Amino acid sequence: MKILIVDDQELVLLSLEKALTDQGYEVERANNIIDAVTKFDDFAPDLLIADMNMPSAPEDEKGYMNITFDEKAPGLDLINYLRNIRKDATPIMILSGNLDEEIIERGFELGANDYMKKPLSLNEIAIRVKRLIGGGSNIKRADTKEKFIQETCIGVVIPCYNEEERLLGDDFKRFVNKNLGYHLCFVNDGSKDNTLEVLKELRKGNEDHISIYDCEKNGGKAEAVRLGMLHLAEQSQFDYIGFLDADLSTDFADFQDLVKTISNSDYQVVSGSRISRIGADITKESARKVISMSINFIIRKTLGMEFRDTQCGAKIMTRKVVEETFQKKFLTKWLFDVEIFMRMRNIYGLKEAQAMLCEKPLNRWIHADGSKLSFKDSLKIIGQIGQIAFHYR
């Protein structure tokens, strides 16, 4: 039995292709409607699985043969073409994160046989496919129950400098094995230990969901994050791109809360926050807390925004923000988060920038061993804030 999958997100295509191939199906894939029609004719599938939101055609083509792109969602044009113009009866299954009831209803009106809402497990997809066209393996794969295709595709940059020991655990592997809509890009920032070798081992068997951006020389966290974010922004499949510390002081559960917030809102940037008044104390050491709160006060005055915690190392944002704020090197190695917001203020204006930003309280943030800045470093930050204020004003 043959299945054609149509989706513009590589992570979804690769995950579905592997799962269905393991079930014994022959699978072909396409990433736009024009490519899908061509492969439909050549491949003659027994089932079509299509996303609703994808490019209609490469290179901005306006039409193809008898296809016109006038539906509210491009995937509907494909269904309309096959059912009402080609008069083809091949079963069609929609796999989409689009929850618009009007779109769902329109899909069935045009002739779709099934509509699957993301997120859902690979196991459920396999069951639905078998119900529609039969075939497939009778072997029940328990692991597919724990593997989910998310509503969105997320790229996550993880800067690494001498992080060999922190990367030896299974946290990262477990996460990408379960959450198939995520891609982790580890940026090796000129590490002097065996970080690069550990990353290569971590990537084995997870090449689709883990990549390595290797910097020969240490350029600091700001530059590592900047290069990683621009690298992921070149890939159109990602709905959002963010960054996370390798020590997982903000864990994946909290990071997924940030993703959920941005994907269900009009915000362009969602930043994790550790400030005690909105959820979690920064530190139990009173002296350090005084310094931290003082620095935060200076940052707020510099930004002109009541942003309570700019320095949390967990943020998620749109590709647009990445492309417009990460092109130039940051002035500082530690306060690039402040610079991101300053650049947004300069590009969009204060009022619009404030409307684009959301501060999301974290539930589980912890200080990992070795992650705290020294008092000397904290004092240096004050001088760097002045440098930022002077440069961007």
Span 310-319, pLDDT tens digits: 778 899 999 9
pLDDT for 286 equals 63
pLDDT for 393 equals 78
- 219 or 386: which leads in pLDDT: 219
C-alpha to C-alpha distance for 206 and 183, rounded to whole angstroms: 10
C-alpha to C-alpha distance for 135 and 27, rounded to whole angstroms: 13
Taking a C-beta distance cutoff of 8 angstroms, is the pair 381, 311 a contact?
no
Q: What percent of the chain has pLDDT over 90?
A: 61
Instruction: Give the 3-state DSSP-derived string for 135-173, with helices as H, strands as E and coil as C.
Output: CCCCCCCHHHHHCEECCCCEEEEEEECCCCCCCCCCHHH
Q: Which of 311, 185, 317 is nearest to 246 (CA)?
A: 185
- Of the listed ranges 91-105, 212-226, 268-282, 303-317, the least confidently predicted one is 268-282
Q: How confident is the model at residue 287 (pLDDT cuts 50, 70, 90)?
A: low
C-alpha to C-alpha distance for 282 and 311, rounded to whole angstroms: 11
pLDDT digits (tens, 9 = 90+) for 297-340: 888 888 888 887 877 889 999 999 999 999 999 998 888 999 99
Q: Is the peptide bond before 119 cis (omega within 30 degrees of 0)?
A: yes
Structure tokens at 18: 């592997």
pLDDT for 136 equals 78
Quote the pTM value: 0.88
Q: Measured between alpha carbons, how far is residue 65 from residues 34, 86, 110, 242 in Å?
A: 10, 11, 19, 40
Sign of CA pseudo-dihedral 256, 261, 267, 273:
negative
C-alpha to C-alpha distance for 63 and 69, rounded to whole angstroms: 7
- 375 or 304: which leads in pLDDT: 304
Taking a C-beta distance cutoff of 8 angstroms, is the pair 270, 360 a contact?
yes
Q: How confident is the model at residue 129 (pLDDT cuts 50, 70, 90)?
A: very high
Where are the domains positioned within the chain? 2-146, 151-392
Q: How confident is the model at residue 276 (pLDDT cuts 50, 70, 90)?
A: low
User: Which CATH entry fits the domain spanning 2-146: 3.40.50.2300, 3.40.50.80, 3.40.50.720, 3.30.70.120?
Assistant: 3.40.50.2300
DSSP letter at 373 equals P
Distance in angstroms between the alpha carbons of the first and the last residue of the chain: 63
User: What is the rounded average pLDDT of the residues 342-360?
Assistant: 93
pLDDT digits (tens, 9 = 90+) for 227-256: 999 999 999 999 999 999 999 989 999 999
C-alpha to C-alpha distance for 213 and 233, rounded to whole angstroms: 13
Q: Which of 208, 232, 212, 239 is nearest to 17 (CA)?
A: 208
- Where do the H-state alpha helices sit in the chain? 10-22, 33-43, 74-80, 101-110, 122-133, 171-178, 195-203, 221-233, 252-263, 286-303, 319-325, 336-348, 350-356, 375-392
Q: What percent of the chain has pLDDT over 70?
A: 87
C-alpha to C-alpha distance for 97 and 108, rounded to whole angstroms: 16
Q: What is the CA radius of gyration of the chain?
A: 23
User: What is the rounded average pLDDT of the residues 339-355?
Assistant: 93
pLDDT digits (tens, 9 = 90+) for 196-217: 999 999 999 999 999 999 999 9
Residue 141 has pLDDT above 80, yes or no: no
C-alpha to C-alpha distance for 100 and 49, rounded to whole angstroms: 19
C-alpha to C-alpha distance for 44 and 280, rounded to whole angstroms: 56
pLDDT for 88 equals 95
Architecture of domain 151-392: Alpha-Beta Complex (3.90)
Sign of CA pseudo-dihedral 255, 257, 261, 263:
positive
Within 13 Å, how many C-alpha atoms sit on residue 342's CB side? Answer: 22
Residue 383 has pLDDT above 70, yes or no: yes
Compute, in degrees rounded to 10, the torsion defined by CA atoms 127, 130, 132, 133: 170
How many helices and strands in the chain, by DSSP H and E? 14, 16
Structure tokens at 23: 């079930």
C-alpha to C-alpha distance for 313 and 213, rounded to whole angstroms: 19
